Structures are given as structure tokens and as C-alpha cells.
Amino acid sequence: MTTSAVRFLLNNDVVTIENIDPNLTVLQYLREERFNSGTKEGCSSGDCGACTVVIAELGKDSQTLNYKSINACISFVGSLHGKQLITVEHLKQGAKLHHVQQSMVDNHGSQCGFCTPGFVMSSFALHKHNNKPNREEVLEALAGNLCRCTGYRSIIDAAIASSEHCEADSFAQHYNQTVQQLNDFKGLPSAKLSNTRHCYFAPKSTAELAEKLLSNPQAILVAGATDLALSVTQNLAIIEDLVYLGDVTELQTLENSAEEFIIGSAVPYSDFTPMLHEEYHELGEMIERIGSRQIRNNGTLGGNIGNASPIGDMPPALIALDAHMTLQRGNEERKIAVEDYFVDYKKTVLKASEFIKNIYIPKSKPDQVLKVYKISKRIDDDISAVLAAFNIELKDNIVTNVRIAFGGMAGIPMRAKQCEAALLNKTFDSESVTAAQQALTQDFQPMSDVRASDKYRMKVAQNLIQKCYLELQSKNIETRVVNYA
Amino acid sequence: MRSLINTKHSNENINNELASVGQGGVGRSKKHESADKHVSGEALYIDDRPSLRGQLHAAAGQSTIAHGLIKSIDLSAVKAAEGVVAVITVEDVPGHTDIGPVFPGDPVLAIGKVDYIGQPIFAVAATSHDLARRAVKLAKIEYEALPAVLTVKDALAKQSFVRPPFTMKRGDSATAIEQATHQLSGEISVGGQEHFYLEGQVSTAEPTEDGGMTVFSSSQHPSEVQKLVAEVLDIPLNKVIVDTRRMGGGFGGKETQAAPWACLAALLSNVTKRPVKFKLSRSDDMCMTGKRHPFENNYHVGFDSDGQIKGINIEVNGNCGYSPDLSDAIVDRAMFHSDNAYFLDQATVTGNRCKLNTVSHTAYRGFGGPQGMMTIEMVMDDIARHLGKDPLEIRKINLYGKDDRNVTHYHQTVEHNKMAELISSLEQSSDYQARRASISQFNIENTLLKKGIALTPVKFGISFTVQHLNQAGALVHIYTDGTIHLNHGGTEMGQGLYTKVAQIVAEEFQVDVDTVGVSATRTDKVPNTSPTAASSGTDLNGKAAQAAAKTIKARLIEFACEKYNVNQAEVSFKESHVIVGQDKFSFAEFVQQAYMGRVSLSSTGFYKTPKIHFDRATGKGRPFFYYSTGAAVSEVLIDTLTGEYKLLRVDILHDVGHSLNPAIDIGQIEGAFIQGMGWLTTEELVWNEQGRLLSNNPATYKIPAISDTPSDFRVDLVPDDPNREQTIYNSKAVGEPPFMLGISVWSALKDAISSVSDYKLSPDLDTPATPERVLWAVEAMKDNA
């Protein structure tokens, strides 16, 4: 193998690619280079799921495989290094359909058929980990796949019914062999890819990464690519120098200490969510509505903070929790509050050659409650109009500590300090709530855009304070349509 | 006629039917003919076709202003860009420059003037899709901006219309309203809808050896693509072949809107003498192609103390965009459906076709019908709140009668009307009254979350209102091994048309449906076809294919009579066999005998819809062969602090006559309902003050996702109720009608909102009813309570 190559399994075949433009997406690679047209292009922006493929990766134990659905349209081809890529073409064995495929046929789950390969792959990934999924689990796994024809009922039935015909598929039969092959890949050097003009590099350590960034401060960092890839597919940007963080060992760590969680910046949502969900239930629930399963399988916490969206979903929650983060440049490391990271619209304190290393999230205290609200037009896979996070400590109904942060209310995710002041050390009652609602107009002047008007954003933000209050007053009433069964 | 279905519950029914899959014939839940290929990724869409030698990729340079004169175009940088092989403007079009489908007004490339943001001004062929997209951004175009009309209000004030206004009238509505006990007025803004077919617009053009063009187009109307490609190239129609195997969804969006890209691909192919593919990126597709017409409607109604309408004036104002396209017929259909299922007694319905500087709006499932129905459903809710009654009561009292009160405002008599029974049956099966009571209780007990319920009916007229389109052709061959090949003029966009028509042919010969092969819809197989639209695909093409099959069958019977000296009554087709007197031959064996006996085993078939006529000058006639009907009950939950909502349960009872394929029909009903719900809830088209579409990608335009489907979703077909008109196996069209069942979700949202005023007020709820609009409607209830 030359030093400038990416090696992976395409279905069961070892493939080495070199001299390919690293701006190429996995979807383009499959369709244009491999002539595998089963994987469809619906939007090229990670929103429709027609391009869903499955990645198999080695688990931490190096003996098990994790199957993850991803959007091929917004994954760069270099990120395949060391993994197995499974496409819809590989599910059918001879004339026999895979059981998730057969179930789609039996339940009349396809009409025009264009979204179908994507649904099949999402369902396949689900069944690899859960061969008896219930309705809720199916919805969670398929929320990133849009169908315009069926109305979904038949697809839900198909995904649930697949388990009735579950049998060992070719992937199960090749399991040990695949594990061995992926272990063999571990010995490969760091992935590099370049054509004459653009290059891609996947360092394996923070030292390697830091060095690369010092020597090349213009390089663009990419983790899950769920946002960055859109600049290529939608805005036709060309990234000259791409540095992939997914192979950096130190950025993949997950620590659960007595006081805090420490999450490596390149850990995908899917991997850190269970841990957080246990500690902060509402945060976990909210994360399950960030993007889709495909997005959460690739998207990372570092990326969510790093791209400095005004909404972000995670940053408001992290700010409310007073999370911190470490930034590294060369050998130097500094720790800052997540709150202090954001300066202005898409402007942060990150210096040239610096990267986000770890995120530190404190654990909950006895009197502390975290309330998180994600308001969007659609429940699944939608960018929030407003994201609100309330971190409140109550003693005898007195607010002894409070941090409130919003996304979508300003150019950056930020705290509502006047609002906090109106509540701090006050009895938590309708009077202080009204004062807090009033104070919110001093904290924010939201804008109107395609998602919501300025007036709606302010009104909802104020009403969420009320909702938070009502939920803390009487824990037994149902207050959210999202949770209503 | 044997009983084909007796559906109890969709899921059970389909699964029970599975046992019979593969035996062919109509009435069975036969799987989609491409289902196995869909799930395996083997089904080929146009973008999946292997690249041809030398194939190029197209992109179009777009207008960046909503209205203006083009002062200069500098394409030097475009021509010099990497990979660019050819660049064309309207100057390079050898033939027609206007590709308007019915009326002129749609230049294939801008002619000195632009009328909307996104309008194609020039086109490029390059060596890759991305290089073509990059190159078009390099043009330098100078405009002299002209004032742009960007609202319906402005268009009405300026009398800016793409076609003249039109009125349908029955009786003296003004006097009737005046003399009625009660009067109400209202207005509603009904949003448009992006089709969001998962496969975007795409065409590939290949030059042929005789100066013609073979075009592979994702089109609902291959014959129109053929005609327009021939016209822009200035070549005869017999030199253009258009081939459409399948679309990844159409929904009306590929009726006229597929043609521009096919024409541009053909023009570029003509210049370069190389194959050219034109695939629109998703955002280009959303900006450059027409959508469902947004409408702004108003009403003035007079009614009695029971809530029965005595007179009504309705005005529907369609935002047609910059050109006529199909808008005349679309606004007509909105007018035809301004009654929905209700007798309007004295009625005046006026339709305006407003011209705005946006993309030209076009066909979309329901074709104006849904926008027309919204007004009268609003009237029902408004009357109910005014009188303090349940809206269902008002709906029932206003239904068309059987023998009287049964003439529409366009003077067609509503026949075979069983809407009252259908509603009554659904009211029972959905447990409407008990749920209404428990919802009222829930709303008393809960201040934060409120529930709402609504039952709304649909009566939808079936036929193209443009008479000549109601015709179809088919071509059936039988080969000597007994297999059958079928072509017809209809296109497959997922609705299962190919499956149903194959079932019809299989039924005719009593053979296994798997022995009927279908291949792409091609203009050289079946000519001069109508678009696959207006829910008519099976009605028209099924009858045409049946006619072709009957012709061959008659020849086979005649041959049998001659050869075996029997009479016709002694020849029958059964279980893949032909029975001739005492002899029984396999179908294949008998077909071989017929071949040896020199019997033609190929035939065309033709069909035209009977009974229909409409005189637009008088506004009178029978535009529709029959009506498709159905009703839905939706129950919702809203959050009065955020406007968020959730659909909890849906019950649907829909009439498809004798179902040709219950699984496909139920799939159509479920899919249409969810699409209709999306139109009225989360799917929001947002244009800015410059006329630029901001919701131009799926991150900002939200069609329903999987969790939006209610966990309790009960869809039933009206059992054993054949169409009284002589349609194919007495079935009824199903493509569009159930779309409007989604109106029940909107009405249920209003019911929940109204509860905030203790049902004293009828909320104004423009659509789409996003959480934001729901919240403002709730606030309005609080303010006025």
C-alpha cells in the first residue's frame, strides 16, 4: 500500500482507493466510480435518507461489529478508511431477498421505490442490533428517511415484521472474517488521499493532528461532516486540505467520573447519548430529535460546538449545565467554558491551528433540574426555531441557582442573564415567572427567518419559562405533545 | 360481478390477501410489479442508467431577479470554465422558443426578459454534473429591474391575470344570502406545496442517426415531452421517441414541469451531437419548478338556524406564478370543488388567475380541488361555532341529497350519492360521539394541552375537465410461449398503475399476472397519450388495455371455433388454460396453435370516457364521469404554549368502488392522506420580499416524517360498492381524492384551538398550520374570549 491511500471493505471486497479527489462523497464514489446505482441521490444534504448506506466498525473490544446507518451523500470518501461499507446491492443473495427487503415487499412498503433502498438500509442497521424492534425503536431508526408516497404505515409495519423472518444473513456468516479484516486494517498507516490539487489526511493521534495544524493552519477540520459536506454538495465549495478527526484516538474517548462526563470532541452522538440520557433524561430525549439516526451516527459534539450555529441544540444545553471544553494548539491546552466559546455569529475564540479536544459536562446535583425544550415545525429531523435549556436548583421553592440558555434567539447560543436574575433567590412562583418573561425581552431581540418569526421566537421562549414552571410545580401532568402516546 | 373485497381493517386485509399473490387477476392485493427491484436497488431510474459514451451533463443559468429586462449577457467566463463543452441561449433554439403546454408564455430560455427568480436564461453542457453547476455561476448578466408583483393582493389590485376571470353560477346567491336568517363572511390564505418527489427532475437526450432524438424523461406526460422536444428542435414528431419506465414520484410535478429539462437536454445534445443528461439538484428543482398554487379565498354565506346554507358567494384567487401553464384548468377545478360534498343552493363561485413574478405554479395531486374545498370546510366550521353546534352536524345537514338538493353550482346532478351513509358508517366505526365527549372532558381538565377532533368528507370529480384528454391507448402482444407483453399510455410513478393494468390484462385471459410483462411507456409504442394525471391512469389505460386484450381474445375464440368446430359459448379461458368444448389446452399451447393458424396475436386498444361535456361559456355541463368519495376523522393534541401538535388517531373510510388491488388502493389512501396533512401543517413555502424562495431545501421545507404518521391509523375501503358507472371492473379512481382527507387534520386543529374559547369562536387558521400559526390562533382565542 502506498502512503497515499484509503483502504476499506466494500461489502466483502477489500478496496484501495488513491488519486481520488477527497471532496468526493461516498454517494458520488458509489454511483460514479463503482457504478453502484442502488444507493439513490434524493437531496445531497443529509435530509432525506435515500442515500443511506451502512458502515460496520469494530467495537472497542475489537471483536464485535457496530453497524451504523449513515448518509452517503454527506460523507467524504476518506472517512471509509478501515471500515466496512455495506450497500443495498449486497443484501440480496442470489435470487433471495434479505429479510428486511422481503418484509418491505410483503407489507407493500414501496410505491415509487426511490426512497426504498435507504429505508431498507436503515432497517437493516436497526435489525443488526435489535432483531425485535418495537414501534418506537423503528421510528427512531427511520426518522431520517423521507417517503413521499406511502404515508409510512406500511414501512413501519415492514420494519417491525422483519423480525418474524429473521435469519442469519451473509454478514452474520462472514462475521468473524470481517472482524479479522477490520483488525488487519488497524495496522494501516494514517489515511491519506489526494489528487493533484486537494488532499485529505486522517491523523491517528492528537500529536499528529496538532503538528499538521501548526504546519497547515488553513486546513479544514472534519469530524462527522454532517454540516461541512453541505458546503461542498450545496454551495459547490472545494476544500483544498481536509483533516479528518474520526481516527484520532484521544478524541474518541468517553469518561464517566464521579463529578463529570468527559466526551472526546469526535465522539458521535450515538455513542455518548446513552450516558447522558441516564443522567439528564430530558437532554437525552432532546438529542434523539437532533438530526436523524444517520446524522447522529456521524455527527459529533465537537462539530456541533465547532460550527458555531446560532441554534446548535447542544450548546444551549451545555451552557445551561456550565460545561467546559479544552482547546489544544501545538502542545498547549486551555480550558474554557462552553459559554465563552461563542463570540458572534459564526465567530468563536478558536485560534488558528487550534482544535477542540474534550467537553466536560458536570453531573447533576441533588436539587438540580434540567429542562430542555426543542421547538421546531416538524418533530423529527428539524432544525429548531428555539432551543431552551433551564438548569435550576430549587430549595424550598426558592431558586438558589439558575442558568438559562437559548438557541435561535440571537446570533449565538447564549445565556438569558436578565431572565436568570429575575428568578435567582426568588420564590419560584407565577410572579417571578412573569418577571422572568419580561426580562427575556432585555436578553434577546430574535430575528425572523424561514423557520419562525421574531415574535414567535420571543413568545415561545417566554412561554417555555411558564411551561418549565408548570412542570416543576406539578410533575404528574402531561405537558408535551411530543411525549404524548 | 363477483365481490372483490370486503375490507375490515387494512393491515389484516392485506396480509390475508398475501396468500393469493401471484395468481393474477383483479381484486387481489398483488404486490407492486417493481417491488422486488425497489427493495434491492435494481429498479433503474434515469440517473441510474449507465452513462453513454461521451455523455455530457447540463445545468442552467438562472435569473437572480424577479422581474426585469436583460440588458446584457456575458458568458465568456462560462464558456472558458473547466469541462464546459457547449453553452446555449434562446438564440440557439432552431424551432419554437415557447414551451407553454396549453397557452404560450413559457420560454424555454429567457427571451430578453425575466419573470421570476430561477428562470433559466442559458444552459451549459459540461463533462460532469458539478462542473456544469459550477460553470453557470460564472455568467455576468445585467438587468433593468421592473416592478415585481409578489402578492395575490397586489395582483388583484393591478388586475394582473394569466387568464381571464371566470364565474359559475346557480340561482341568485346575493338575494338568498340577504334573506337568510344568518350571514357570515371570512377569508383564508391557503399555502402552496412543493411536490418533493424523492427523485428530482431528470432527462437524458441521445441524438439518433436520422437527426432525431431519443429522450429518457422522468415525466408524467411523455407525449408532451415528445411534442415540445420536436418543436424546439424544429423536427417532426416521428423523429422523437420519449421513454419513461418509472418515476421516483410525480404527484403532478412531472406533468408539465418535466419538459423544460428534456428540451434543454435535447437542445444541448443537438448542438454537441453527444448524449446529454439534465438532472436538477434538489435546491434548483425547488426554485425552478412550479408548485401547488397558493390560494387566497373568501366567502359570504347566508344560512338558517339549523345551519343549512341558503346562499353563498365564494371567490377563489389562485397564485398562478408568471405564466398560464395549467392554471386555467386548475382554478376551474378549485371552483368545481368549492362545494366539496355540500349542496350550495344559490351559489356564485368566481375564480381569478393571478399573475405573480414567481415560478409558474402547476399541477399537484388534486389540481386545485383541495384549495377550493378549504373554503367550504372553513364555512362549515364557522357556521357551527356561530350556532354553537358540532361542526359534524353542520356538515351532515348540508350534504347533497339523493333525489333533491342534488345539483351542483355547475349544474351537474350528483348521482349515486351515498355520502350520508358513508359518514354515518365512519361516525360509528370511529366512535366519534363518545370521543367528542371525552375530548370535551379532557379540555376542561387540561389547561395546557387541548384535544380536537373533526370529521370531514371528500367528494372529488373524476375526469379531465379538458374533454379531449379523456382518451387512452394500449398495445398488447402475446408471444408464442404464452407470455404477454403490455404497453399503454400511462406512466408509473409509484401509484401501481402498471400493476393494476397488468392485472386487468391477466384477468381478461385468466392467466397468472406474472406472465404479463410491462415495459417502459414509450411514444413509439402508444402514441398521442394524455398525461398520467387527474387520477385517471387506471380508468383510461385499464380500459384501453382491456380493449386490446378483448380484441385478441375474440380472435382466439374465433380461431377455436373454426379449428375445433365449436360455438363461441364452448370456448372459455380459465386458470391459464383455454377450454374448447371437451378439450383443455394450456394457454401457451393454445397460443402456439393460433400462431400456426396465422392469427394476429397483437392488438392496440383504445378508450374514451363517455357522458362528459362542459360548456364553459354557460358554466353548465357534466364535466365529471363520476365522483370519488371518502371521509376521515382526525384527532389531534395541541400545546397552547408553543403551538406544537400531534396527530393522535385517524380513521378513514374511502370508496374505491370494486378495488382492483386493495393493497395498492390502501397505500394510495394512506400516502395521500399524509401528503394532504403535510400540505396543511408543516410544509411551508417562504418567499422573501424580493421573490426568492427561502424554503428551497429539505432542511427548511418539512414534509411529514415517519413520526408524523399517527400510531393509530385505521383505513377501510367501503365494502362491496361497485361504481355504478361502467368503469374498469367498476372500480373508482384513487390517486387524488384521499389527498383531501387531510383537511380533517386542519379542522381538528381548529377544533382544539376553538376549545380555548369554550367553542364560542371559530379560529382563523391559514395554512400551512405551522406551530407558529397554531399558537397565534390560540392567542387570538384568549384575546377575544
| Partner residue facing A148 (CB), from B32, B197, B667 | B197
Confirm whether the ipTM is greater than 0.95.
yes
Count Cβ atoms below 10 Å from residue A168 Cβ, excluding itself.
8
**How do A6-10 and A13-17 pair as beta strands?**
antiparallel
Nearest by Cα to A415 from A389, A381, A394: A389
Residue B156 burial (CB < 10 Å; 0-12/13-18/19+)? Answer: middle
Q: For chain B, how big is the Rg over CA atoms in Å?
A: 27
State how far the alpha carbon of A422 is from the alpha carbons of A438, A470, B558, in Å: 9, 17, 94
Rounded to a whole number, what is the distance in Å from the CA of B368 to chain A's nearest CA? 19
B-interface mutation test, from A89, A103, A165, A378, most B Cβ less than 10 A away = A378
Helix (H) or strand (E) holding B527: none
B699–A110: do the CB atoms touch at under 8 Å?
no
Residue B468 burial (C-beta neighbours within 10 Å; 0-12, 13-18, 19+): exposed
Helices (H) and strands (E) in chain A, counts: 18, 20
| Contact between chains at B196 and A148 (C-beta distance less than 8 A) | yes
CA dist list (Å): A54 to A26, A89, A136, A303, A465: 11, 12, 21, 21, 41
Query: CA–CA separation, B207 vs B248, rounded Å?
Result: 25
Instruction: Please report, to the nearest 10 degrees, the dihedral formed by the alpha carbons of residues A122, A123, A125, A130 taken in order.
Output: 140
Domains in chain A, CATH or no CATH each: 1-197 (3.10.20.30), 249-362 (3.30.465.10), 368-473 (3.30.390.50)
Averaged pLDDT in 10-residue chunks for chain B of 785 residues: 36 37 72 98 97 96 98 98 98 98 97 98 98 98 98 98 98 98 98 98 98 98 98 98 98 98 98 98 98 98 98 98 98 98 97 98 98 98 98 98 97 97 98 98 96 98 96 98 98 98 97 96 98 97 98 98 97 96 97 98 98 95 98 98 98 97 98 98 98 98 98 95 96 98 98 97 98 98 84
Q: Which residues of A touch B711 (CB under 8 A)?
A: 135, 485
* Most A-contacting residue of B28, B686, B706 (CB-CB within 10 A), to test interface: B706
* B318, β-bridge pairs: B295, B353
Strand-pair partners of B348 = B169, B313
CA atoms within 13 A on the CB side of A311: 19
Nearest residue in B to A484, CA atom: B646
Please give the pLDDT value at position B119: 98
Cβ-based contacts of B29 with chain A (< 8 Å) = 108
Q: Do the Cβ atoms of A146 and B495 come within 8 Å?
A: no
Test B199 with A40 for CB contact under 8 angstroms.
yes
Amino acid at site B320: C
Measured distance CA(B164)–CA(B200) in Å, rounded = 33
CA distance A272 to chain B (A): 24
**Chain B window 29-68: which residues touch A at a Cβ cutoff of 8 Å?**
29, 31-32, 34-45, 47-48, 50
Q: Are A168 and A161 in contact (CB under 8 A)?
A: no
Provide the pLDDT for residue B785.
67
Helix ranges (H only) for A200-325 are 206-215, 228-233, 269-279, 281-287, 293-298, 301-306, 314-320
Cell of A239: 476544500
Q: Are B712 and B775 in contact (CB under 8 A)?
A: no
Question: According to the model, what pLDDT value does residue A3 have?
Answer: 55
Contact status, residue B517 vs residue B244, Cβ threshold 8 Å: no
CA B257 to chain centre: 13
Buried b (16+ CB within 10 A) or exposed e, B618-642: ebbbbbbbbbbbbbbbbbbbbbbbb
Query: Nearest Cβ partner of B646 from A376, A377, A484?
Result: A484
The pLDDT assigned to B16 comes to 37
pLDDT tens across A204-235, in order? 999 999 999 999 999 999 999 999 999 999 99
In sequence order, what DSSP letters do the residues of B177-233 get, joined into one string?
Answer: HHHSSEEEEEEEEE--B----SS--EEEEEE-TTS-EEEEE--S-HHHHHHHHHHHH
Phi, psi of B522 (to 5 degrees): -135, 140
**What are B694's three cell numbers?**
427561502
CA dist., res. B460 & res. B479, Å (int): 41
Go through the domains of chain B in sequence order and give each one's CATH number.
48-147+201-279 (3.90.1170.50), 149-189+293-400 (3.30.365.10), 413-464+626-785 (3.30.365.10), 471-608 (3.30.365.10)
Over its length of 485 residues, how does chain A's per-residue pLDDT go in tens digits? Answer: 445 689 999 999 999 999 899 999 999 999 999 999 999 999 999 999 999 999 999 998 999 999 999 999 999 999 999 999 999 999 999 999 999 999 999 999 999 999 999 999 999 999 999 999 999 999 999 999 999 999 999 999 999 999 888 888 999 999 999 999 999 999 888 888 888 789 999 999 999 999 999 999 999 999 999 999 999 999 999 999 999 999 999 999 999 999 999 999 999 999 999 999 999 999 999 999 999 999 999 999 999 999 999 888 999 999 999 999 999 999 999 999 999 999 999 999 999 999 999 999 999 999 999 999 999 999 999 999 999 999 999 999 999 999 999 999 999 999 999 999 999 999 999 999 999 999 999 999 999 999 999 999 999 999 999 999 999 998 778 899 987 76
| pLDDT at site B1 | 33
Cβ contacts of residue B715 below 8 Å, gap of 6+?
A153, B10, B652, B654, B666, B669, B670, B673
Please report the pLDDT score of residue A476 as a whole number: 79
Distance from CA of A160 to the nearest CA of B (A): 13
pLDDT score recorded for residue A485: 61
The candidate with the shortest Cα–Cα distance to B204, out of B224, B219, B189, is B219
**What is the model's pLDDT at position B783?**
85
Interhelix angle B369-387/B327-336, rounded to 10 degrees, is: 30
User: Which residue, among A425, A399, A9, has the nearest Cα to A181 in the 3D structure?
Assistant: A9
Minimal CA separation from A392 to chain B, in Å: 20
Is B766 an interface residue toward A (CB < 8 Å)? no
List CB contacts of B645: < 8 A, sequence separation 6 or more.
Answer: A481, B636, B637, B638, B639, B681, B749, B752, B771, B774
Using only the alpha carbons of chain A, give its radius of gyration: 23
Within 10 angstroms of residue A304's Cβ, the number of other Cβ atoms is 24
Which of A48, A449, A477 comes nearest B198 by C-beta?
A48
